[in-house]
Amino acid sequence: MRPVYVVSGGVSKFTKARHDKTFQAVVKEAFEYAVADLNIDTTKFLELVDGSVASYFSDHFQRQLMSGIMAQDYLGLCPKPSHRVEGGGATGGLAFQEGWKSIASGHMDVCAVYGFETMSHVETWKGNEFIALASDVSFDFPVGGFYSGYYAMMVVRHMQEFGTTVEQMAHVSVKNHRNAYHNPYAQKRQKLTIEDVRNSTMVAWPLTRLDICVMSDGAAAVILASEEGVKRLEKAAGRTLPKIKVTGIGRGTDAMRMSDRPHKKVPLLSFEKESDYKNLKYPGIHSFRAGRSAAIQAYKHAGIKNPIAELDFVELHDAYTSSEIQTYEDLGLCRYGQGGELAVSGKTFMPGVDYGLKLKEKPICPVNPSGGLIACGHPVGATGLMQAVFALWQLQNTIGKHFKDPALQIKNAKKGLIHSHAGTGTYVTVSILEA
Amino acid sequence: MSKKISDRVEETTEGTILYNVPFPKNIESLKELSPIIIKQPYAIDYIHSYGQDSPWFAGLSNKKLLGTKCTACGYVFATPKLSCMECGKECDWVELPQEGKVHSFTVCYFGAEAFLHETPFILGLIEFEGANTLLLTRLVGLDPQEASLKWVGMKVKAKFRRKSQFKPTDVYFIPA
């Protein structure tokens, strides 16, 4: 397989409703930002790009089938090859990896991956119903389909198994909202306290409104290239482009129905021993086996042995504060059962940001420096690509330029991980990016 | 939990029928026009078949809780699957015990639009002796305000609706 580089990216401002534009025009904002950042004229870029991947989750939020081709034609990419990717909340991560495949396989030298979701076209509770249709409509949805309820049951079991607390979860909310204070693309930029999170409206016990991400309208785009493709773009741009390489790719799956999840042994990462988990039945509903599977593959691919020490940052799928904690463990940032402690340790916070919290340890590996889904919003098809764009900017050392605020730039960031996750952990992707 | 008093009027999708809008004399200013937002109603009746899982629903209407068991490896599914997830072989129908334990639960204070009028309601995942997987159900007869981890492990028993709706809610669980 050929090396694949991420050369550019763009994100629309995530917001509750973009009634000012149709989805194609919002995609164009992200796409044009990425092209402009290469310093290449749009018309010229349309000659240089070989094809695209379209990333969007839902057809019924817009009541529009084939939205992908409508974005493709609006961008001026016809008749070049393209296809739509869909895998629930992991749609963006899957699309990123499909773009990677197109380049790695030699099928394309320059590939644009664009993603979007337009969730404002229905009222919030109808939107929750649409999302809950991503659960078995024979056995699960009719019982009271509600994703926040599903994740609540998962974290209740995590609390039961490992002693995780709601205060530990609230730390994630404070961290991510506070990080987003410096991210102009984020939907919610707030300074919160642990009490704010706990006193917020209860949605599904024990998750409050501030433990849960919000629905958004938004788009994101990344441009991937081979060695040949980078040369082609550099010639047009008249400058050398910083090379950020995709060094690891992993994916995993698990059963749609949470009730079907097995209770077996933990697939181990290199620093774990079977004896660490003598009494643990895995994954049950407390952990995401798909995330562990994705991490094992991506770390093997990228040669990572000790993730928390080797990664400079992680952008992970925190649709819920609880799933950030559960994902720490799947990704091996700590052992299973230690996610709650890691969340309050300070290790996953940003250096130089005042959270108003007493944190025992110094940051080692900031998680969701951008603010994550909790604060940025979660326009599903755009989300995984938003993570790729923010990771790219970290590794290019250009956060200050793009955010107009350098606070969230991690110094000397060389290696980052992006993690995309679909409903209750059904599809999960992990990709490693290196400067 | 203390109830907060709302300080905003609820947004609804009830609107006014509008047959015309103002239009500027100057065509160059059209890009400044506010977006026109309309309502598009959408309703549909699906003809949904439970297919090979149909006997499970027939079981509920006859006060029987069914599961499936793999003919090859013996794995028992408390939510039926006719193809074994473990070994890929075929499963047979078996009867499950009507008592189990709460594996996990939540109280939903909000929900999908279809269930919003039923809030707060309690969702639970039930584990059964001899079964390898769980069953998602409603827990009834518990005070939502009393939610605590103490509910995990609680013994519960199945109750069935007298008038079947042929939905998974034809069975629900109450404290045993």
B14 by Cβ neighbours in 10 Å (0-12 / 13-18 / 19+) ranks as exposed
CATH of the domain at A99: 3.40.47.10
User: In this complex, is the C-beta atom of B133 within 8 Å of any C-beta atom belonging to chain A?
Assistant: yes
Six token digits for residue A17: 């409703």
Do A256 and A400 share a structural domain?
Answer: yes
User: In this complex, is the C-beta atom of B64 within 8 Å of any C-beta atom belonging to chain A?
Assistant: no
Do A228 and A259 share a structural domain?
Answer: no
Report yes or no: B173 and B159 within 8 Å, Cβ to Cβ.
yes
Cβ neighbours of B37 in A, within 8 Å? 19
| Inter-chain residue contact B77 with A260, CB threshold 8 Å | yes
Q: Would you say the pTM of this structure is higher than 0.90?
A: yes
Q: How far is CA A84 from the centre of its chain?
A: 18
Report yes or no: A216 and A20 within 8 Å, Cβ to Cβ.
no
- Residues 14-33 in B contacting A (C-alpha not used; CB under 8 Å): none
Of A126, A144, A260, the CB nearest to B85: A260
Last residue of a domain, one of A203, A237, A271: A237
Complex ipTM over 0.85: yes
**How many alpha carbons fall within 13 Å on the CB side of residue A140?**
22
- List the domain range (segments joined by +) for residue A115: 5-122+217-237
Contacts of A41 (CB under 8 A, 6+ apart): none
Do A222 and A277 share a structural domain?
Answer: no
Contacts of A275 (CB under 8 A, 6+ apart): none
Cβ neighbours of B110 in A, within 8 Å? 125, 128, 146, 148, 203-204
Do A306 and A340 share a structural domain?
Answer: yes
Do A228 and A302 share a structural domain?
Answer: no
Do A221 and A276 share a structural domain?
Answer: no
Pairwise CA distance, residues A350 & A315, whole Å: 12
Q: Is residue A260 part of a domain?
A: yes
Extract long-range pairs of A353-358: CB within 8 Å, 24+ residues apart. Answer: A353/A178, A353/A179, A353/A182, A353/A407, A353/A408, A355/A174, A355/A175, A355/A178, A356/A174, A356/A191, A356/A193, A357/A171, A357/A174, A357/A194
Q: Is residue A399 part of a domain?
A: yes
Do A102 and A27 share a structural domain?
Answer: yes
User: In this complex, is the C-beta atom of B38 within 8 Å of any C-beta atom belonging to chain A?
Assistant: no
Do A318 and A282 share a structural domain?
Answer: yes
Q: Is residue A146 part of a domain?
A: no
**Cβ-based neighbour number of residue A355 at 10 Å:** 18
Q: Is residue A154 part of a domain?
A: no
Side chain identity at residue A432, one-letter code: I
Of B77, B149, B168, the CB nearest to A143: B168
Smallest CA–CA distance, residue A281 to chain B, in Å, is 12
| Inter-chain residue contact B168 with A257, CB threshold 8 Å | no
User: In this complex, is the C-beta atom of B173 within 8 Å of any C-beta atom belonging to chain A?
Assistant: no
Say how many domains are in chain A.
2
Q: Are strands A427-434 and A51-55 parallel, antiparallel or unpaired?
A: unpaired
- In A165-240, at which residue ranges do the beta strands (DSSP E only) sit? 202-204, 207-208, 217-225
Q: Is residue A107 part of a domain?
A: yes
Q: Is residue A166 part of a domain?
A: no
Cβ neighbours of B136 in A, within 8 Å? 139-140, 143, 257-259
Pairwise CA distance, residues A128 & A215, whole Å: 9
Per-residue DSSP letter, A135: S
Residue B46, SS3? coil
Residue in this structure with the two tokens 């928390």, named with its chain if needed: A308
Q: Is residue A85 part of a domain?
A: yes
Pairwise CA distance, residues A365 & B120, whole Å: 39
Do A430 and A330 share a structural domain?
Answer: yes
| Inter-chain residue contact B107 with A205, CB threshold 8 Å | yes
Pairwise CA distance, residues A230 & A219, whole Å: 24
Cβ neighbours of B152 in A, within 8 Å? 156-157, 160
Q: Is residue A132 part of a domain?
A: no
Q: Is the peptide bond before A369 cis (omega within 30 degrees of 0)?
A: no
Residue B24, SS3? coil
pLDDT digits 0-9 by tens, A310-342: 999 999 999 999 999 999 999 999 999 999 999
Six token digits for residue A183: 């991210």
Do A426 and A285 share a structural domain?
Answer: yes
Q: Which of B138, B65, B18 is nearest to A146 (CA)?
A: B138
pLDDT digits 0-9 by tens, A10-28: 999 999 999 999 999 999 9
Q: How far is CA A4 from the centre of its chain?
A: 19
Cβ neighbours of A156 in B, within 8 Å? 104-106, 149, 152
Cβ neighbours of A20 in B, within 8 Å? 35
Do A224 and A317 share a structural domain?
Answer: no
Pairwise CA distance, residues B33 & B44, whole Å: 34
Pairwise CA distance, residues A396 & A244, whole Å: 7
Six token digits for residue A9: 């990216």
Do A269 and A224 share a structural domain?
Answer: no
| Inter-chain residue contact B11 with A123, CB threshold 8 Å | yes
Residue A51's DSSP bridge partners are A111
Report yes or no: A314 and A417 within 8 Å, Cβ to Cβ.
yes
Pairwise CA distance, residues A274 & A297, whole Å: 19
Last residue of a domain, one of A175, A209, A237: A237
Residue in this structure with the two tokens 């994902």, named with its chain if needed: A327
Last residue of a domain, one of A237, A269, A289: A237
Per-residue model confidence as pLDDT tens for chain A (435 residues) = 999 999 999 999 999 999 999 999 999 999 999 999 999 999 999 999 999 999 999 999 999 999 999 999 999 999 999 999 999 999 999 999 999 999 999 999 999 999 999 999 999 999 999 999 999 999 999 999 999 999 999 999 999 999 999 999 999 999 999 999 999 999 999 999 999 999 999 999 999 999 999 999 999 999 999 999 999 999 999 999 998 999 999 999 999 999 999 999 999 999 999 999 999 999 999 999 999 999 999 999 999 999 999 999 999 999 999 999 999 999 999 999 999 999 999 999 999 999 999 999 999 999 999 999 999 999 999 999 999 999 999 999 999 999 999 999 999 999 999 999 999 999 999 999 999
